[in-house]
Structure 1
Amino acid sequence: MELQVTNSPFNQEQTELLNRVLPTLSPTQRIWLSGYLTALQSTAAPNATAEAAPEVSLPAATSVSREVMVLFGSQTGNSSNLAKKTAKLLEERGFQVTLSSMGDFKSNTLKKLQNLLILVSTHGEGDPPDSAIAFYEFLYSKRAPQLEELRYSVLALGDTSYEFFCQTGKDFDKRLEELGAQRIVPRVDCDVDFDEPAADWMNQVVQALGQTSTAAASAVSAGLAIGDSAETEYSRSNPYYAEVLENLNLNGRGSDRETRHIELSLEGSNLQYEPGDSLGIYPENHPRLVDELIETMGWKPEESITLKNGDALALRDALLRHYEITVLTKPLLEQAAQLVPDSGISKLLEPGKEQELRSYIEGRDLLDLVQDYSLKGVTASAFTGILRKLPARLYSIASSSKAFPDEVHLTVRTVRYEARGRNRYGVCSVQLAERIQPGDQLPVYIQHNPSFKLPDNTDAPIIMIGPGTGVAPFRAFLGEREETGAEGRTWLFYGDQHFSTDFLYQVEWQRWLKDGVLTRMDVAFSRDTDQKVYVQHRMLEKSGELYQWLKEGAYIYVCGDEKKMAHDVHAALGTILEQEGGLSPEEASEYLIRMQQEKRYQRDVY
C-alpha cells in the first residue's frame, strides 16, 4: 500500500520520497530502520511533536537482570541457529548470556533463572524435538517449581501444513504462565518462512530487556536484525548457486522406485559441513501445474506481481519460483474464505468439521482448491497475496567433505503418484529427476544439525539404522570414519524393497565391509519374501548382540520416515532392552530417554 498525503502525517514531498525508498528496503533494512527510529524518538527533545512509538514494558523494569538464559529445542537445526543469533545479539548489547540446548539443560536450575528465552520447533504431530523431551516432561511433572520470579518469552517454529502448528512452543508458553512466570513479550509462532517474524521477536525481546534506562533502550533499539544487510556469506537467506556435477538414478532397471544421486560443486563458496548436516534446496514448482493454475483462473502469465519484499515478477515466474502451490493449509483456506465469501470454503472451516477439513487438505493442492470451489474471477494480485513463500527442501547430506572436498552429495527419492484424476509431483524431487542436468545450477545452503553428529570419541561403536534414502547420512558417516582412520566398530541396518534393484550404494557398502570401515551390515528387503521384513525385524533377530553393543557404549543413529519407521525402530529398541536387559517397559523408556540426553541416541527423521 502506498503512502498518500491524505492517509499519513507527511507532506507531498516527504510522501513521494518515502514511496520511492520503502519498496526498495529488504526486511532486514526495515527492521533496522524501525529500531533506529525508536532509539531516535527515545532521545528526542521534550517539545518533539512526533507521535511516540509503542513500547513493550516489563513489570518492575528497573530491576531487570542482565543475565539471560537462551534455551533451544531443535530437530533440524533451525531453532539452534536462531538461538545462536539471539545470544549474539544480546551479548553485543551487554547482556550476560548462557546458550544451551534443552537436552543439556539441568532442569533443577530453572528456579534460579530470572530471564528465559525459549526457541523451539514442533516435530511430527505436535511433539517436542528429541532434545526437548526431558525438559518438556519436567515442566509438566509435579516436580516443576513455581516460577513467579521468572520472565520469559517463546519463539515457536512450525509448519502450518501440520495440524498441530507450533504446538510445542504453545505448550511451553502456557505451562510457564501456569507456573507463575511473566512474559517479556508475547509468543511468536513462525511458519516455514520464519526469518522476518523471528527477527521481529528478537527485536522486541532485546528492546524490552534493555528498558532499564533510557540510554540502554537507545543502545538496544538501534540496528536490531538477525541478518546482515551487507551479507557476504552464503546462507538460508542468501543461497549459493551450486553447479550440478552428476545426476544418476541409483535404482536398477525394473524397479518401482527412482532414487537420484546428486553431486554438487561447492568450490569457491566457502560453505562448510559435517556428516549429519543437511542441504537446503530452493526448488521450482512443476511448470505443468503452474500453467494449469493460470489457465483455470483466467490469468495472464506475463502479468506483473509485487512480492512482499517489494520486488516485481511476472506471474508465471512468481508461481514457479516464489509461491507454494502444492500444499493446502488451514490458514490458507481461512484467507481464501475471506477473499471469496460466497465460495463455500467457510463451511469447511466450521466447528465440528475438523476431520472433514483434515481429509480435504490431505493430498490436495491449490489447483484442486480453485476447481472445487470455483474461485475463478479472483485477481492474480489478490490471490498470490494469501500464498506463503515456497519453502526450501532439506536433504540429509550423503558425503563427507574430507572424502569429497568442495562437493556435496544427496540421495533423493523421486515422488510421483496419481490422485483425483491428475498426476502429482514431489516439488523438488521431480525437478531434480526431470529438469536438472549436469552443468545446471541450484540455489542451496547448508543446514547445520548439531543434534545428529558422530561421537567425539572415534573409538566409540556406532549403530546406524537407515532404510531407503535414510541411509544417506550413514554414507557420510562411514566416509568420514574412513578418512579420519577412526577405530570404532560400525553396524548398519539397511532396508528397501528388492535386493536386485533397490540396494542403494551396494558396491560402497561391500568395499567398506571388506576394508573394515563397516564392521557388519544387516539388510531387509521387504518385497523379496512372502512375509514383509523391515529393519526393526532384523534388529530383533540380533537383539542379544545389539544389546551387548549398547552395554559397551554404542551410539544409535536413526534416519528416515518419522511416522512409521522411526516409531517401529524405537519400539524394537524398547523390546530389546526388556528382553535382553530384564527391564520393565517404564525402565526401558527411561533408558532410551537417558541415551538421548547423553547424545547416544540421535534421530534425523522426517
Structure 2
Amino acid sequence: MQTLFPELGQTPLNEDQHQFFQQFIASLSPEQLAWAGGYLTGLVSKDSPASGATASVSGGISEITILVGSQTGNSEALAEQTHQLAASRGLRSVIKKMGDYKLPQLKTEKNLLVIVSTHGEGEPPDNARAMHEYLFSKRAPSLKQAHFAVLGLGDSSYEFFCKMGIDFDRRLEELGATRIYQRVDCDVDYEHAAEAWMEGALGELAARTEVKPQLTAVPLPSFSAAKHSLYTRKNPFPAVLLEDIVLNGSGSIKETHHLELSLEGSGLTYEPGDAVGIYPANAPDVIAELLQTLHFSGDTQVKVDGSDITLYDALYRHYEATLITRPMMQKYSALAKNPKLDQLLGDNSKKELNDYLYGREIIDLAVDFPADNLSPQAFVECLRKLPPRLYSIASSLKQHPNEVHLTVAAVRYQSYGRERKGVCSTFLADRIAEDGAIPVYIDHNNNFKLPADASAPIIMIGPGTGIAPFRAFVEEREAIGATGKSWLFFGDQHFMTDFLYQAEWLQYLKNGVLTRMDVAFSRDQEHKVYVQHLMLEHGRDLYAWLQEGAHIYVCGDEKRMAHDVHAALLKIVASEGGLGREEEYIATLQKEKRYQRDVY
C-alpha cells in the first residue's frame, strides 16, 4: 500500500492503527480532510474537547457569510466545501441559503462570499429570485461596509453563461461593497476553478486580519451516525445495468428507456428528488467522422491533464465531440483565422450566431470553417471537458434496495443533412449491454424533496420523462405508509404508445396510494392538449388542494413546459383566490418550499 504520509515512519500508532489511519485518510475528499485537520487540532489543544466534539473557531476575522443560490444543489455543495476550508484556516463562516435569508440583514454583512448558479436562459435559481429582485430594487441598501467575492456556476452552451454571477458581482459593487477577489465563472466541469476561487477568496480574507483561532467544543455526531460512500463525482461507481425496458409501444416516434442499475457494494444512498450523474463516452462513429474531417489520426498522442493519451481516447472519454459552446468557438476561431467566422462571433451577429449554433455540432464547424495547419493538440485545447449528465431518479431506495432506476429518452434527430444523437442517452440506449458497467454518482438535490409531513397532500406535474421523480415519490410514499393525498398530472403524445408506466399508475390508483391522475395526450385530438390545460380545467380543485397545504412539484422541460405551467398556476391563483396578488402567493409557496421545480 502506498504511504500517504512517509513522515509517519516514527508514528506512535501501532501497525493496525497506522494501516487503519492510512485507509481512512485515503477515503476522504479534500473538504473532508480540511475538516478532519481542524477536528484533530481541537483534540490536542490545551482545552481538548471531549470525544464527539469538534473544533469551532472563535476570534480572528469577523464572521463570513457564504450566501448560496442553487437550483440542483451544486452551489450548496461548494458552499459547504468553502465553509470547511474556512474552518481549516481559522476563519469563522456561516452558510445561508438565499431563499431563507432575511433580506434587511444584508446591510449588516461585513464579509460576503456569494456562490450562485444561473438557471435556464439567464435566470436566477428559484430560491434566489427574491434576493436578486431585492438587490436590483430601490430598497437595496448601501453596502459600503462589506467585502465580497462571487463564484458563478453555469453552462457555456447557453447564451447567458453565468449571468447570475455577473449580476451579483456587478450589483454588489454598485451598492458600494469592496471586491476582494475577482469573480470566477465556472462551466459544467467546475471543480478546479471553484477550488482555486475558494483558496484565493479565503486567502484574501485571512490576509486582512491576524487570525488567532481559539478552539472550543461543539457537539458533533459520531462517524457511525452517517454512512459515507467512497464513490463521488470525482470517483464514480461502475454500476452494472440490470435491465433495460423500452416503455413506448409499437408505432411511437419516441424511444423512452426504463433502466435499472445495481448499486451493490457502492455504499451509495439517495432520496426521491435526487439525480444520478452519469459519465458517458462519445459514439465511435461520431469520433471517426470528426477525425476524418480534420485529417487527424486517432493514434496521435496528445496531452490531457498532464498525461499522454491517444487523440481517439481523448475524444472518446475526455472531451465534448459534438456540442459547440461559445468559448469553444472563440478558441477555434483564433486558430482558423477565418473572416466569416470572426464576423459570426462579432457583437452585431448575435442572432446569426444563435441560429448557427442551433442544430449544429463541432463537425459542422470544422467543415464550414476549416482551419489550416491545425494541430491535434491545439484542437483538443479548444474543447470543453465532457461533463456528466444528470438524470432524475425514478425509484425509491426503500422499494429497491441497492438499485437505482432511470427514465431516459433516447435523443435522435436530423439537421443540416446529418443524423444526430444525444451523447449520453444513446450511450445508455445503444452501447451498454446488460451486465455492462456505467460510471455513476449520486447528485443530491435538497431543493426537490417530499414534505417531511407524510400527511401533507402533494401535486405532481411531469410530462414525458418528467414523470421520473414522481415514480420515486409515489414509491416512497407507499413504502412509508404516507396518508397525504397525491395528484399526478402526466402528458405525452399518444395514449396508446406513450403512457409511461401506465400499469403502475393504474395499480396505485386502485390501491389508493395515488389519489388522482389527469392525463393529456397532445396528438390524440385535433387541438393539442398539454398538462397546463388540464391544470386550468381543474383550477378550482387545484387551488383547494393548495389551500389545504398541498406541496406542488414540476419536473421536465424548462424552456416551454415549466414556463407554461407557472403561468397556468398564476392564472389559477388569480381566478380562484381573487387575491390580485398571485405573484406574492406563489413566492410564499416557494419560500415555504411548497412549490419546487426540477427543470432542465
- Report 1:326-365 matches (<5 A): 326-342=322-338, 344-365=340-361
Match of 2:366 in 1: 370
- How far is the alpha carbon of 1:344 from its aligned partner? 3.6
2:144 is equivalent to residue 148 of structure 1: yes
The one of 198, 201, 213 aligned to 2:197: 201
Match of 1:588 in 2: 582
For the structure 1 residues 323 and 216, does the alpha-carbon distance in structure 2 shift closer, same or farther, using more than 3 Å as the test? Answer: farther
- The secondary structure found in structure 2 opposite 1:103 is helix
Structure 2 residue runs without a partner (length 5+): 1-28, 34-58, 214-227
2:547 is equivalent to residue 555 of structure 1: no
- How far is the alpha carbon of 1:580 from its aligned partner? 0.8
Match of 2:597 in 1: 603
The one of 278, 283, 286 aligned to 2:283: 286
Question: Match of 1:203, as an amino acid?
Answer: E
What are the Cα deviations for residues 346-405 of structure 1, in whole angstroms up to 9, with x where unaligned?
Answer: 121223111111111122111000100122541111111111101111000000111111
Do the aligned partners of 1:65 and 1:115 also contact (CA within 8 Å) in 2?
A: no
Question: Match of 1:250, as an amino acid?
Answer: L
- The secondary structure found in structure 1 opposite 2:505 is helix
What are the Cα deviations for residues 116-143 of structure 1, in whole angstroms up to 9, with x where unaligned?
Answer: 1110100111000001001111111111
Do the aligned partners of 1:75 and 1:451 also contact (CA within 8 Å) in 2?
A: yes
Do the aligned partners of 1:122 and 1:167 also contact (CA within 8 Å) in 2?
A: yes
For residues 259 and 202 of structure 1, the distance between their equivalents in structure 2, rounded to whole angstroms, comes to 41
Do the aligned partners of 1:275 and 1:454 also contact (CA within 8 Å) in 2?
A: yes
- How far is the alpha carbon of 1:94 from its aligned partner? 2.6
- Report 1:192-341 matches (<5 A): 192-212=188-208, 233-307=230-304, 309-341=305-337
2:72 is equivalent to residue 69 of structure 1: no
For residues 115 and 347 of structure 2, the distance between their equivalents in structure 1, rounded to whole angstroms, comes to 31
The one of 107, 112, 116 aligned to 2:112: 116
2:423 is equivalent to residue 441 of structure 1: no
What are the Cα deviations for residues 403-422 of structure 1, in whole angstroms up to 9, with x where unaligned?
Answer: 11111000001110111111
For residues 69 and 513 of structure 1, the distance between their equivalents in structure 2, rounded to whole angstroms, comes to 47
For residues 359 and 534 of structure 1, the distance between their equivalents in structure 2, rounded to whole angstroms, comes to 28
Do the aligned partners of 1:336 and 1:345 also contact (CA within 8 Å) in 2?
A: no
What are the Cα deviations for residues 552-591 of structure 1, in whole angstroms up to 9, with x where unaligned?
Answer: 010000000001100110011111111111122xx11111
For residues 408 and 558 of structure 1, the distance between their equivalents in structure 2, rounded to whole angstroms, comes to 21
The one of 463, 480, 495 aligned to 1:484: 480
For the structure 1 residues 524 and 165, does the alpha-carbon distance in structure 2 shift closer, same or farther, using more than 3 Å as the test? Answer: same
- The secondary structure found in structure 2 opposite 1:473 is helix
Match of 1:513 in 2: 509
For residues 434 and 86 of structure 1, the distance between their equivalents in structure 2, rounded to whole angstroms, comes to 40
The one of 526, 530, 536 aligned to 2:522: 526
- The secondary structure found in structure 2 opposite 1:245 is strand
Match of 1:53 in 2: none
Question: Match of 1:176, as an amino acid?
Answer: L
Do the aligned partners of 1:286 and 1:425 also contact (CA within 8 Å) in 2?
A: no
When normalised by structure 1's length, the TM-score is: 0.85
- How far is the alpha carbon of 1:504 from its aligned partner? 0.5
Do the aligned partners of 1:297 and 1:376 also contact (CA within 8 Å) in 2?
A: no
Do the aligned partners of 1:193 and 1:391 also contact (CA within 8 Å) in 2?
A: yes
For residues 302 and 72 of structure 2, the distance between their equivalents in structure 1, rounded to whole angstroms, comes to 33
When normalised by structure 2's length, the TM-score is: 0.86
The one of 491, 494, 505 aligned to 1:498: 494
Match of 2:3 in 1: none
Question: Match of 1:295, as an amino acid?
Answer: Q
Q: Matched residues, percent identical?
A: 55
For residues 212 and 350 of structure 2, the distance between their equivalents in structure 1, rounded to whole angstroms, comes to 48
For residues 449 and 392 of structure 1, the distance between their equivalents in structure 2, rounded to whole angstroms, comes to 16
For the structure 1 residues 572 and 74, does the alpha-carbon distance in structure 2 shift closer, same or farther, using more than 3 Å as the test? Answer: same
Question: Match of 1:384, as an amino acid?
Answer: V
Question: Match of 1:570, as an amino acid?
Answer: H
Do the aligned partners of 1:210 and 1:216 also contact (CA within 8 Å) in 2?
A: no
- The secondary structure found in structure 1 opposite 2:124 is coil
What are the Cα deviations for residues 98-133 of structure 1, in whole angstroms up to 9, with x where unaligned?
Answer: 212111111111111111111010011100000100
For residues 548 and 341 of structure 1, the distance between their equivalents in structure 2, rounded to whole angstroms, comes to 62
For residues 347 and 565 of structure 2, the distance between their equivalents in structure 1, rounded to whole angstroms, comes to 37
- How far is the alpha carbon of 1:232 from its aligned partner? 7.4
- How far is the alpha carbon of 1:92 from its aligned partner? 2.7
Match of 1:10 in 2: none
- The secondary structure found in structure 2 opposite 1:352 is helix
- How far is the alpha carbon of 1:512 from its aligned partner? 0.9
2:102 is equivalent to residue 106 of structure 1: yes
Do the aligned partners of 1:72 and 1:120 also contact (CA within 8 Å) in 2?
A: yes
- How far is the alpha carbon of 1:216 from its aligned partner? 6.5
Match of 1:166 in 2: 162
- The secondary structure found in structure 2 opposite 1:65 is coil
Question: Match of 1:252, as an amino acid?
Answer: G
- How far is the alpha carbon of 1:214 from its aligned partner? 6.5
For the structure 1 residues 580 and 278, does the alpha-carbon distance in structure 2 shift closer, same or farther, using more than 3 Å as the test? Answer: same
- Count of aligned positions: 532
Match of 1:7 in 2: none
For residues 335 and 531 of structure 1, the distance between their equivalents in structure 2, rounded to whole angstroms, comes to 46
- How far is the alpha carbon of 1:215 from its aligned partner? 6.8
Do the aligned partners of 2:257 and 2:429 also contact (CA within 8 Å) in 1?
A: yes
Question: Match of 1:478, as an amino acid?
Answer: V
Match of 1:55 in 2: none
For residues 372 and 432 of structure 2, the distance between their equivalents in structure 1, rounded to whole angstroms, comes to 33
Do the aligned partners of 1:345 and 1:373 also contact (CA within 8 Å) in 2?
A: yes
What are the Cα deviations for residues 47-80 of structure 1, in whole angstroms up to 9, with x where unaligned?
Answer: xxxxxxxxxxxxxxxx983301111111111111
For residues 122 and 64 of structure 1, the distance between their equivalents in structure 2, rounded to whole angstroms, comes to 33
For residues 311 and 71 of structure 1, the distance between their equivalents in structure 2, rounded to whole angstroms, comes to 37
Across the aligned residues of Structure 1 and Structure 2, the Cα RMSD in angstroms comes to 1.8
Match of 1:47 in 2: none
For residues 330 and 507 of structure 1, the distance between their equivalents in structure 2, rounded to whole angstroms, comes to 45
Do the aligned partners of 1:298 and 1:376 also contact (CA within 8 Å) in 2?
A: no
2:86 is equivalent to residue 90 of structure 1: yes
